[in-house]
Amino acid sequence: MQIKKFYQKKFKDIKKRYKRSLPFGDYFTDRFDRAKKENFGEGSSVYDNVLIIGDVKVGKNTWIGPNCILDGSGGLEIGDHCSISAGVHIYTHDTVEKSNSLGVKKNPQLKKTIIGNGVYIGPNSVISKGLKIGDQVIIGALSFVNKNLKKKTKYIKNKVK
């Protein structure tokens, strides 16, 4: 009963103060505290429902939105002052060869992915393994990025500008 009472109080407080309701776990966790526990840079935050796998390094003042996947199987670095919007998936591995081998033992393909400083990645975008995204790149919502993007590139509606 104590959990239920705590949840109901937190729900009312957050709804009144911020006009939002959160996933259940977010009432019991602090996204800045989680970022500290993950050894992310000062001022960074990561929601409770973000899946973090392997070696993931995140710089200072970076916001990782809800429902993201940060796959550090092959090593993932995210810079300072980034916004990783809700539902973004960033990968450092795939199992394409394993699947296509029809039972032949194949290991996952691993490649480090690097996201620069001041990068914005729009909601529900997917970043393939092994890419380098330069500083101050803007990636629009629902993008699939499978090539490197240089500094200050705008990648919107799958067109580089």
**Model confidence pLDDT, tens digit, residues 13-32:** 999 999 989 888 888 999 99
CA dist., res. 63 & res. 88, Å (int): 12
The single-letter code of the amino acid at 44 is S
Confidence of residue 159 (pLDDT cuts 50, 70, 90): low
Q: How far does the chain reach from its first CA to its final CA, in angstroms? A: 55
pLDDT band at 157 (very low <50, low <70, confident <90, very high): low
Residue 157 and residue 80: Cα distance in Å, rounded?
25
Q: Determine what percent of the chain is predicted with pLDDT higher than 70.
A: 97
Q: Is the pLDDT of residue 53 over 80?
A: yes
Is residue 125 pLDDT above 90, yes or no? yes
Average pLDDT of the residues of the chain: 93
Task: Check whether 154 has a pLDDT greater than 80.
Answer: yes
Domain ranges for the chain: 40-160
Distance of alpha carbon 156 from alpha carbon 161, whole angstroms: 8
Residue 70: Cβ-neighbour burial (10 angstroms; 0-12, 13-18, 19+):
buried
**pTM, 2 dp:** 0.90
pLDDT, residue 90, reads: 98
What three-state secondary structure class fits 37?
helix
Domain 40-160 in CATH 3.40.50.740? The answer is no
pLDDT tens, 60-79?
A: 999 999 999 999 999 999 99
Judge whether residue 51 has pLDDT over 80. yes
List C-alpha distances in Å: 146 to 47, 107, 113: 26, 21, 11
* DSSP 8-state code for residue 149: B
Indicate the pLDDT class of residue 141, thresholds 50, 70 and 90: very high
Judge whether residue 135 has pLDDT over 70.
Answer: yes
pLDDT of residue 158: 61
